Amino acid sequence: MSQPSTVSPISNGALVLRYSAFLIGGVIVLNIAFLVLESYLKQSPGSTGALGLILIWSAASWMGQIWFRREQARPPPGRAWFVALLCALATFVLQAALVLVIAGSMPGGIASIARYRSSDQMLIAGAFISILVLEFLLIRGAIFWGAKAEEKRAQQRAAKAQA
């Protein structure tokens, strides 16, 4: 069991910043790896559909580990849900920015998005909301499991130190 912490809690903004930095860094590293695979090794990475979710899980799990290490306690559930929501919104903003950059580079620019029928726009909006909910739950689960894994490591280190 973890002991009460005398360290001040890490701020929500710092947690979201660390999460976002890991996520953006992971996207950059993966894109460089794909460029190397395709350009120099003439290999295609194949289907990478779940890679974004794996990156989100990794970033949130890493953040959960940092959170536990800093506070020496599992994140309180209410605060963990709130930070997960902030991280999901940060992820959504990054994804929306990427979509707008891609749409801006298409012939017709961003106005090409408005050409969809209203029923198509509603379907696209529903898909985005569904993805946001999935990412939110994924982030919350990863925070829990990341903190739990770090707690287990701390207990193992404490047991070794006592032995």
Estimate the crossing angle of helix 51-71 against helix 118-162, to 10 degrees.
40
Question: Do 147 and 68 touch, CB atoms closer than 8 A?
Answer: yes
C-alpha to C-alpha distance for 150 and 84, rounded to whole angstroms: 18
With a pLDDT cut of 70, the percent of the chain lying above it is 91
Question: Do 9 and 71 touch, CB atoms closer than 8 A?
Answer: yes
**Matching residue, tokens 């605060």:** 79
- pTM of the shown model: 0.82
Q: How far is CA 76 from CA 68, 93, 127, 128, 153, in A?
A: 11, 26, 31, 29, 19
The pLDDT, as a whole number, for residue 113 is 63
Q: Is the pLDDT of residue 24 over 80?
A: yes
The lowest-confidence range among 56-60, 62-66, 122-126, 154-158 is 122-126
The pLDDT, as a whole number, for residue 114 is 65
**Matching residue, tokens 């930070």:** 83
Instruction: Give the CA count within 13 Å in the CB-facing half-sphere of 15.
Output: 30
The pLDDT, as a whole number, for residue 147 is 93
